[in-house]
Structure 1
Amino acid sequence: MLSLREDSPFEMLSQFSAHFDGDLIENLGAAKMTIENEHGIGYISLYELLPGFTAWIYNIKFSEDLVINMNFKDDRPYYFGYNVSGYQMQKFPQDIGYKKIRQGQNFVIISKPNSSSEFVIPNNIEYKCCYIIINPELLKESKIPSKLKLIHDLTESFKLNNESEPFRYFGDIDARIGTYADVIVENERTDIIGRLITEGAVLRMLGSQIEAHAHDSNIDNFKPALTKSELSRITNIGDYVLENITEKVSVDEISIHLRISPKKLQSGVRFLYGYSANEYLTRLRLEHSKELMHSTDMNISEICFAVGYQSKSYFSKIFLDTFGNSPSAYRKSYEDANLLYDISYRSLAEDSLSRKDVDEIINIARSSNPQFNITGSIIFHRNIFFQIIEGPKKEVMTLFKNIRSDRRHKDIQIMWQGFKMKREFDNWALATISDEGELKVEIQGNTKNLELSNLLGELDQSAIDSENLWRKVRNIIKLNADESAA
């Protein structure tokens, strides 16, 4: 049984990854855990559209029944779901037996605060499901009118008699919801384009689910006017725009590139994203501008031109209309919130590196970085450095710039880079890996050991060099840090 703590979506996926020895890849606002081992084959991914608004996708086949004991906190989020393929079982503590959630069925689950619920996904079935997780307490912090309206709609639709009791709604088989859920489940991308594909389908799926609950309706004949092949080609629109992001790209130019008529292009974009083609192009440019704010020190004018706008005032206006903040206010919100920045990387040491050099690097990291409010963890093993660096963005970026220019490091590969809400380490933690594959994590006075050979088999040099291993090491260290702080 997997005992799952309700937490941020990224932390919950980390718990899945540790349980299944999965390969967890994180991007800004998205993450994906892939397994291909004795536990099963497939992936679980998530997309955080806003803090408090997340899509969670299963596209996986487990070798054994997966039993999840979900331990809820007191925020009481809404769990909207749809089984595209396969089925699952669910029960609250007061239930005598499990309730079956069928393939093609629309469902909504709202927990009792500080309680639990069990979910079972049967083994050896192609399980494809989309969950939309909404935390109203986090979502209401958004200044975007459409998101505030969503909270109002949820409150009006789900008027619970006793908010301390759990709520469960299993609706009819609903083909319209299934069409949107299928788009979400089959989208394997976690980059900016993948997030926009998911965001459009999620919003339309959620609207259909709320409507289905309100009217208990069954719409059996909803189908898009395009073939799957045409819809697939339309999802490539984002790649083409990003490749030409500094240019003014027209809808006609895109339709020629995708070999699809402008009318079908407009229809397909409207179906996939809920926007017109021009609105989608604008949204893609603005999302890319946010990404540049997160990952670079470019000023607002530089970012404006980098995403294809020639007028800073126009760029600021449409950014404000879309996200509820001006670009400057959006960037400043990170500084005011004192959010932490994290860079986790793996690098190869120069062949001439001596043990003295290694000791010097580790000693500097442990003694000097805390004075810049930087904490983290460092490993050196078989000529490979692995570090997790966390702290204020300016200081972290400065340190990483120095690391990049340090002759003792080469072939630097970033495992993760982005903002996070909380610090994982109170000070500078040391982790070591033995030649036998034992990971020893020393965090805040506690030491935990894990046999990495259980994850990847024999730890030969090719395994040690792999990004897959170091992503798993990062996840293990972070989970141990969370448990030590708890």
Structure 2
Amino acid sequence: MKIFDAIDSLRRVSKGINGDFIENISGGFLTFKNKYGKGNAKAFKLFTGLEVLSFNILASETIVLEKLYKNSNCLHFIFCTEGFLTHYLDKDVEKQNIHRLQNVIIGNNKNNASTIVIPANTKVKFTIITVIEVSHLSNDLKNGNQLSNLLSNIMSNVSNTENYTYFGEISSKTATFVDTIINTNLSGLSNRLINEASVYRALASQYSSRGNNIKKVENKNPLSKKDTLQIIELSDYISQNLHETIPLKKLTLISGLNQKKIQKGFQYFFGETVNKFITNLRVLKAKEYLEETDFSISEIVYKVGLNSRSYFSKIFKEKYGLIPKEYKKYHHLSNPTFQLSYYSEAVEGITKKDLIAVLEASKRNNKLQSISGCLIYYKASFYQILEGPKTEILNLIEIIKTDKRNKNVNVIFEGVKSGRTFGEWNMALIQDDFNTIESNDDFDVIPIEFLPMTDIKNPLANKYLWEKARNYLIINQEVDK
């Protein structure tokens, strides 16, 4: 079974409303401003089996978000803090409105996809938190960890009928947590923990509301605006100094707040004590190192300010269900993906036949070396991204430098990353003079108007270009199927 993927759902939404979509290690992000209206949305995953979509949209025209998810044995907790929505399942004639501050839980056992309709001339803010039944997760993740316990508790008493829908009472209990999810960006460790804490609190609030056993939730910020800023600054300080010992006394000296007020602030924003916050931040940073670098486990333990590798393994497994070594393997980082992007100038007089030869040779040879990527020809220049074993790619770039069909090869960026941007060798040829490719191989052609071709020699702009190319290829491959 394909586990629910919020990022894929948001990518499809982006295509439907001609939005601008980008994906990175933190999640997927959509922005748009066109005839459909304006707004933004994000998708991110806390664990395998616990994912979040959030939307902040002003719709000028009716917006239909189709096929947001299509999985059995999962629940979607929907909460709208502004405006209202209409929801229906595939092949389901009945449509139901989701009102502002209404607690809604939806699930099914027949792989029916959900559709949400945002009415024209409506401002909406809402989240969808999705959980998968623990029995459908990988065996590696069923170790009594935080996620499996959470899912077991939530799924244990849910009806096994074909479709499960709960449209509950109007309540403001969950609104504060949902607004925090919508309004807090995902960059920075402390922001990621704020999002994580808010997701758990929203989930607990909605689930307890369903059972008519709502505990008192104190939504009022116990701190003044000035003290609130001090707490946020302290969380940033901690995230930037994880390698140090950070006693509570030191935080009082830095902020001027007393220990009681600091603890109260961390409980409000992060749902935990300062010490627990620091520990979780260290685990989160370690997870980031495991996903993005080829550091050894011992190096990571040192970098996040811990002294014991065994203690690190213990707290990491408690949170993510796997010891760090297994997690590294699970994310295919035993041999990290090395990524390099470059541009070069085509020699004068290059022909369509020459370009096809480059494409065919690249596709054939790089496949043998386990190298994937994408090649673009635009305005007499080559732009290419290469992904795979570091040694093979560095050898390849030296060969490219000696290829007489191009000159002035310049590396734009290089480094290690988690996974691959391009799953297979996708070739893209972009040039009005060569808008058709006749070859024995199949090449994907990306329309020039789809890609941002300005300032693409800048590292950030270049990475954005490849994200756009990837999204186009993924979406059109789905359409073709």
TM-score range, shorter chain: 0.7 to 0.9
Deviation at 1:168, TM superposition (A): 1.2
The match for 1:424 is 423
Measured in 1, the distance between the counterparts of 2:91 and 2:19 equals 33
Q: Does structure 1 residue 262 correspond to structure 2 residue 259?
A: yes
Letter in 1 for 2:17: F
Measured in 1, the distance between the counterparts of 2:148 and 2:258 equals 37
Measured in 2, the distance between the counterparts of 1:174 and 1:260 equals 34
The match for 1:380 is 377
Residue of structure 1 aligned with 2:81, choices 84, 94, 102: 84
Where 1:408 maps in the other structure, the secondary structure is: strand
The match for 2:404 is none
The match for 1:211 is 208
CA change 1:384–1:396 in 2 (3 A) is farther
Q: Deviations over 1:145-170 (max 9, x none)?
A: 3322223212333133x2xx211111
Q: Quick check: 2:186–2:195 contact (8 Å CA) kept in 1?
A: no
Residue of structure 2 aligned with 1:63, choices 60, 64, 75: 60
Q: Quick check: 1:424–1:478 contact (8 Å CA) kept in 2?
A: no
Letter in 2 for 1:409: N
The match for 1:302 is 299
Q: Quick check: 2:430–2:445 contact (8 Å CA) kept in 1?
A: no
Q: Quick check: 2:422–2:470 contact (8 Å CA) kept in 1?
A: no
Q: Deviations over 1:457-481 (max 9, x none)?
A: xx77458974554432221023234
| Structure 1, gaps ≥5 residues long | none
The match for 1:188 is 185
The match for 2:409 is 408
Where 2:389 maps in the other structure, the secondary structure is: helix
Q: Does structure 1 residue 197 correspond to structure 2 residue 194?
A: yes
Deviation at 1:88, TM superposition (A): 0.5
CA change 1:57–1:218 in 2 (3 A) is same
Q: Deviations over 1:52-83 (max 9, x none)?
A: 11111111222211113327544332100111
CA change 1:452–1:408 in 2 (3 A) is closer
Q: Quick check: 2:59–2:122 contact (8 Å CA) kept in 1?
A: yes
Letter in 2 for 1:471: E
The match for 2:50 is 53
CA change 1:155–1:294 in 2 (3 A) is closer
Measured in 1, the distance between the counterparts of 2:348 and 2:242 equals 42
The match for 2:156 is 156
Where 2:100 maps in the other structure, the secondary structure is: coil
TM-score with structure 1 length normalisation?
0.81
CA change 1:133–1:364 in 2 (3 A) is same
The match for 1:109 is 106
Deviation at 1:198, TM superposition (A): 1.0
Worse-matched range after superposition: 381-390 or 35-44? 381-390
The match for 1:478 is 474
Deviation at 1:323, TM superposition (A): 2.9
Measured in 2, the distance between the counterparts of 1:224 and 1:441 equals 61
The match for 2:128 is 131
Q: Quick check: 1:172–1:218 contact (8 Å CA) kept in 2?
A: no
Deviation at 1:206, TM superposition (A): 0.6
Measured in 2, the distance between the counterparts of 1:129 and 1:67 equals 14
The match for 2:344 is 349
Worse-matched range after superposition: 105-114 or 236-245? 236-245
The match for 1:251 is 248
Deviation at 1:231, TM superposition (A): 4.2
CA change 1:320–1:146 in 2 (3 A) is closer
Where 1:207 maps in the other structure, the secondary structure is: helix
The match for 1:277 is 274
Worse-matched range after superposition: 248-257 or 98-107? 248-257
| Alignment length (residue pairs) | 464
The match for 1:369 is 366
Q: Quick check: 1:9–1:46 contact (8 Å CA) kept in 2?
A: yes
Where 2:111 maps in the other structure, the secondary structure is: coil
Measured in 2, the distance between the counterparts of 1:33 and 1:339 equals 32
Q: Deviations over 1:337-372 (max 9, x none)?
A: x99976776544379999699899756632332122
